[in-house]
Amino acid sequence: MPIERISPETLFSPQRAASSKIFVGRENIIKKICNGCRSEHSFGVIGKPGIGKTSLLNAVQRSLSSASSSTSLAVFFAVYIEFEKNKYETHNDLLRAVQNGYIHEIAKNTGLIYPQDESFLPSDQGVRFENDLEKISKWFFKETHKVIKPVILFDDIHRGIDSTCLSKSFSIIRPLVANQKSIVILCGEMPLDKEFRNDVSVLRNLVSEQIELPPLSIEDIKQILSIVEDNDWEVENGVDTTLYEITKGHPYRIHYYLLEALRSEGKLTAKMLRSIDSNRAIKAFLGNVLKEEKTIKKNEENSMKTILFLAADPTDATRLRLGEEQREIQNKIQMGKFRENFIFQSRTSVRSEDVSQALLDIEPKIVHFSGHGTQDGELCFEDVAGKVHAVEPLALANLFEQFKDQIECIVLNACFSEPQAKAIAKNIPYLIGMKKEIGDKPAIAFSIGFYQAVAAGKSIEQAYNLGCAQMGIQHGIKQGEIPILIKQK
């Protein structure tokens, strides 16, 4: 029996998330996320503009809510938060929206009204926010004898990844996720996959797994067309193949083409769909809508730089404070005004064979080695037993030559590393080495100044100068006395 006919605008407006009436596909992803939530796992969902991220989050919210009425002793209520710049002035505003949304979801799904005796005013430290969530949980258990946990669905976080509001909010939420008191689903566009891997990002360690949304399949399109037929619209044979060919399974395009066709003729034919696809005005409109994806990718390629920190501290050599140096570098990048342009990755207890694997996996622009060097100009890596394995300059130069089109700068923060720097500099634009022995504290001071400048958008030469200046201020070491900058001729 046909369902009550609904207007094309109600079903297929591409400007809105797909309702439960028209949402198809992604069943396995929804099941994976919902099952993961029940196992205390958080997820990152990334995808191109118009690929259906918001529709997926809405479907996850519906799925978790429908399960809340089951006989299970543990229930999950999902709170949807769309991040827009200027929507939340402070992190307290955003956290208050999470709390109020949590209470609203409980009321909507159970009819229970939480008695708010006090206003919610989260503190900067997040203690109040955590306490308020705990109060809600205790009240719900008293009413139902069931355990609840909030699942926070953050949508479009790529819009505010560099905002103080989002950064402070996630710093408060992170301990709750780590202690399994809350679950988050972080959703945004393509650059987020690098944020999830970035050691200095506020998103690092918030998610257990990331999922990239694929286009819809031709089987999904057939399901959509069956809904069209259920509403008494005529669908010509073969339309499913045509629609898939011209949209490549992109949900926004699918909905747009269906809306235009049903508005014009009240039926779907291959000829009408191809006519829409050939319309220059429509192509220009869709190009503008989806141009954001291309802009993001272009900006990503041009501005994002990965820094690879390599540390080796053999057990049979004098122990170094490499962990402190790594933390200082991470902190200075995180504090920089262009921090969103950098990804920080680290490898510790590095063996010589680990270097090439890290260069292949991470594709860094800046490589920073911290460890020991010998008076013969060798760098000390670790062997399988954690002992010193010295590598001569020519060997490392040959290795880095294979990555000369990728690496912009190498910092060898190790004693007597000038010969290594000179050997490698034949193929790499900028090399920084140490002329003689250098202590832990001066080495860390140089790194602080160098990465302060890098994260502020300064050139390698300016960063080198600031690193030397920090050594001078803190330890009285003159510029050029120990660190040396070599530029490729």
Same domain, 273 and 346: no
Check residues 165 and 307 and name the one with the higher pLDDT: 307
Same domain, 432 and 310: yes
Q: Looking at residues 89-111, what average pLDDT do you find?
A: 89
Query: How are beta strands 183-188 and 372-373 bridged, if at all?
Result: unpaired
Sign of CA dihedral 232, 233, 239, 240: negative
Is residue 104's pLDDT more than 60? yes
Read off the CATH number of the domain in which 370 is found. 3.40.50.1460
Same domain, 205 and 226: no
Supply 282's token pair. 């429509």
The Cα–Cα gap between 255 and 350 comes to 51
* Any domain includes 232: yes
Instruction: Supply the DSSP string of 365-398, one letter for each residue.
Output: SEEEEESEE-TTS-EEEE-TTS-EEEE-HHHHHH
Same domain, 292 and 370: no
The Cα–Cα gap between 400 and 424 comes to 7
The Cα–Cα gap between 450 and 372 comes to 20
Is residue 86's pLDDT more than 80? no
Count of structural domains within the chain? 3
The per-residue pLDDT for 299 is 46
Query: How are beta strands 234-235 and 267-268 bridged, if at all?
Result: parallel
Read off the CATH number of the domain in which 173 is found. 3.40.50.300
* Any domain includes 17: no
Same domain, 331 and 385: yes
Same domain, 49 and 146: yes
* Any domain includes 276: yes
Is residue 278's pLDDT more than 90? no
Same domain, 118 and 166: yes
* Any domain includes 245: yes
Q: At what angle do helices 239-247 and 251-264 cross, to 10 degrees?
A: 130
Q: Which of 57-71, 257-271, 440-454, 469-483 has the lowest mean pLDDT?
A: 57-71
* Any domain includes 7: no
Which of 298, 328, 351 is the last residue before a domain boundary? 298
Q: Which of 87-91, 140-144, 380-384, 483-487 has the lowest mean pLDDT?
A: 87-91
Same domain, 264 and 325: no
Q: Looking at residues 398-421, what average pLDDT do you find?
A: 94
- The 10 Å Cβ neighbour count of residue 29 is 18
Q: Looking at residues 393-416, what average pLDDT do you find?
A: 94
Q: How close are the terminal C-alpha atoms of the chain, in Å?
A: 78
| 292 φψ region: left (φ > 0), alpha (ψ -120 to 50), beta (else) | alpha
Read off the CATH number of the domain in which 287 is found. 1.10.8
Same domain, 248 and 319: no
Q: Looking at residues 118-127, what average pLDDT do you find?
A: 53
Same domain, 151 and 174: yes
Supply 84's token pair. 């827009």
Same domain, 47 and 114: yes
Match 């949900």 to its residue by tokens.
Answer: 251
The per-residue pLDDT for 297 is 45
Is residue 294's pLDDT more than 70? no
Element (H, E) at 474: helix 460-475
* Any domain includes 176: yes
The Cα–Cα gap between 310 and 303 comes to 22
Same domain, 270 and 309: no
Q: Looking at residues 292-300, what average pLDDT do you find?
A: 45
* Any domain includes 16: no
The per-residue pLDDT for 125 is 52
Supply 302's token pair. 């041009």
Which of 191, 212, 233 is the last residue before a domain boundary? 212
Sign of CA dihedral 461, 467, 473, 478: negative
Q: pTM (2 decimals)? A: 0.64
Is residue 193's pLDDT more than 50? yes
Give the percent of the chain with pLDDT over 70.
Answer: 89
Which of 212, 243, 262 is the last residue before a domain boundary? 212
- The parent domain of residue 137 ranges over 26-212
* Any domain includes 4: no
